[in-house]
Amino acid sequence: MLTDAQLSAVADLVTEVASTEIMSRFRRLEAGDVRAKTSASDLVTVADTRAEAALARGLAAILPGSTVVGEEAVAADPRILDRLAGEAPVWVVDPIDGTSNFVDGLARFAVLIALVDGGRVVASWTHAPAMGLWATARRGHGVLLDGHSPAPVDLAAPPVEVPDLRTSHLRRWPDGHHDLLARLTSHFPAMAHFSPSGLLWVDLVRGSADAAVLPWDKPWDHAAGLLMLEEIGGVTSDRHGRPFSLTGDHELPIVAARDPRVATRILEVAHPRRAERIPRC
């Protein structure tokens, strides 16, 4: 769908915006530059809003006729999410994934861009400028992580016995799911929290994490990583065997795993006697 020149133009745009709008403010924010959205832990900064505006303008120019779904734009007008069900190609944008880390001066934050066509992510860009990290994916063409192609999942090898499982902090879990979380914690006592979501997907692709349980499904947090995981042979699934859907056609929580056998095992713990066996993508 995109030419090589357009793919390069997106990477150049992300690099430029990360430099001018984000890194220029990293560890230099003033009190008036930060405000809370839905809660004290849900923050937005002037860097978020200015970066999203610049990215939206640039991406629309790179692919005429496309639309943009950005985190901050949706916060102002939730109807923008309806664009994901439309016919035009959609850029899904998280200008700063991990805003709380950015505000605290921590380097674990990233710019996330995904291009969606026909309901599927066809290309993605993940850039963590303070870490010097780049990850890109193109449907059918694999993943590049800092210039190298990660090894695909080897299903001929036995699955890991004790998976390195990640999930979000308790505050991200909706009411009614705490029994499920308790079952997971009991069975996987070393389960760790992740932050932010964009870099979780990088950890899965790199192999430094085996699986994750996702209790929320904002498309800008996950779209870029979904494609990366699929391209190495990984899977996502709810307890009915339905993959993560950008339009919400699934049941939370979602399990994301490098190995479908590990995904099935986690779902069997989370939902005894209810998990479907997960097919490989």
Tens of pLDDT, residues 107-141: 999 999 999 999 999 999 999 999 999 999 999 99
95 within 8 A of 72, measured Cβ to Cβ: yes
CATH topology classification for 4-145: Fructose-1,6-Bisphosphatase; Chain A, domain 1 (3.30.540)
The predicted pLDDT at position 173 comes to 85
User: Is 97 annotated as belonging to a binding site?
Assistant: yes
Domain ranges in the chain are: 4-145, 165-270
Q: Which of 49, 54, 103 is nearest to 75 (CA)?
A: 49
Grade residue 280 by pLDDT with cuts at 50, 70 and 90. Answer: low
The predicted pLDDT at position 1 comes to 78
Contacts of 104 (CB under 8 A, 6+ apart): none
User: Is 268 annotated as belonging to a binding site?
Assistant: no
Grade residue 81 by pLDDT with cuts at 50, 70 and 90. Answer: very high
Interval 219-277: pLDDT, tens: 999 999 999 999 999 999 998 999 999 998 899 999 999 999 999 999 999 988 654 55
The predicted pLDDT at position 273 comes to 66
- One DSSP character per residue, the chain reads ---HHHHHHHHHHHHHHIIIIIITTTT---GGGEEESSSTTSEEEHHHHHHHHHHHHHHHHHSTT-EEEEHHHHHH-GGGGGGGGSSS-EEEEEEEETHHHHHTT-S--EEEEEEEETTEEEEEEEEETTTTEEEEEETTTEEEETTB-PPPP-TTSPPPSS--EEE--GGGSPTT-HHHHHHHHHH-TT-EE-S-HHHHHHHHHHTS--EEEES---HHHHHHHHHHHHHTT-EEE-TTSPPP-TT--S-SSEEEESSHHHHHHHHHHHSTTTPPPPPP-
Interval 14-57: pLDDT, tens: 999 999 999 999 999 998 999 998 887 789 999 999 999 999 99
User: Is 175 annotated as belonging to a binding site?
Assistant: no
The predicted pLDDT at position 40 comes to 75
The predicted pLDDT at position 279 comes to 58
**Does the pLDDT value for residue 167 go beyond 80?**
yes
Q: Return the CATH number of the domain spanning residue range 165-270.
A: 3.40.190.80
User: Is 221 annotated as belonging to a binding site?
Assistant: yes
Cα(81)–Cα(93) distance, integer angstroms: 12
> Model pTM?
0.94
The predicted pLDDT at position 169 comes to 83
Bigger pLDDT: 37 or 74? 74
175, with CB counted inside 10 A (0-12, 13-18, 19+), is: exposed
The predicted pLDDT at position 39 comes to 80
Grade residue 278 by pLDDT with cuts at 50, 70 and 90. Answer: low
User: Is 276 annotated as belonging to a binding site?
Assistant: no
16: left (phi over 0), alpha (psi -120 to 50) or beta: alpha
Cα(92)–Cα(203) distance, integer angstroms: 21
